[in-house]
A = this chain, B = another copy of it.
């Protein structure tokens, strides 16, 4: 359902505008505070447009979760691609790890709205049975994708992860969420240098190297 490729361009464009508006409004007011009226208005429409595209707010949010998941996974894949392109073989472990950190650290600095939206969607999935399965699927896909990348990186520098996929990814994702939320809570912004340092330390914790230096 709601596959933007299989509908008229006009309809797809309207839905895209509604989705973008929903991102903003949900980030600003929360999923509970987001209203059909608010989203439609933000998109430059009236409620009429909304209801002729989605049956309900729930319906739109399902669409949004799918979309957000796709974007996230694509971001990670792109970072991985960049890393693979830039990597020069034969580096020392530390240099290679530092390179990896540099390539992935921007994922640790999402804009405030993304942090809020992500948290809101997770809460929404927790509360709404009809959404949960889809949400979990998206998270799993992301976790799997990231883990593969991580494993490849480790193998290429003769290091290995201390724990299996599931725990590793939970540590990673939890750390990302916790870190970006605390940054905004604490400073009101994200300090890139601090994030590089944080990610480096995390890598030291979850990765085990056979040799040193």
Q: Are B127 and A171 in contact (CB under 8 A)?
A: no
Q: Chain A interface mostly helix, strand, loop or mixed?
A: helix
Interface positions of A from 168 to 213, Cβ below 8 Å from B: 170-171, 173-179, 181-182, 184-186, 198, 201-202, 204-206
Chain A interface residues toward B at CB < 8 A:
28-34, 112, 115-116, 119-120, 122-123, 125-127, 132, 135-136, 139, 162-164, 167, 170-171, 173-179, 181-182, 184-186, 198, 201-202, 204-206
Contacting residues, chain B, for A116 (C-beta < 8 A): 123, 126-127
Contact among B30, B125, B139, B184 with A31 in the assembled complex (CB-CB below 8 Å): B30
Contacting residues, chain B, for A204 (C-beta < 8 A): 162-163
Contacting residues, chain B, for A132 (C-beta < 8 A): 185
Give Cα A30 to B181, complex, Å.
Answer: 18
Q: A30-B31, A32-B33, A170-B198 are known contacts; what are 13 more A-B pairs with Cβ within 8 Å?
A: A29-B32, A116-B127, A122-B181, A132-B185, A136-B185, A162-B204, A171-B174, A174-B176, A174-B177, A174-B179, A177-B177, A205-B205, A205-B206
Give Cα A32 to B162, complex, Å.
Answer: 40
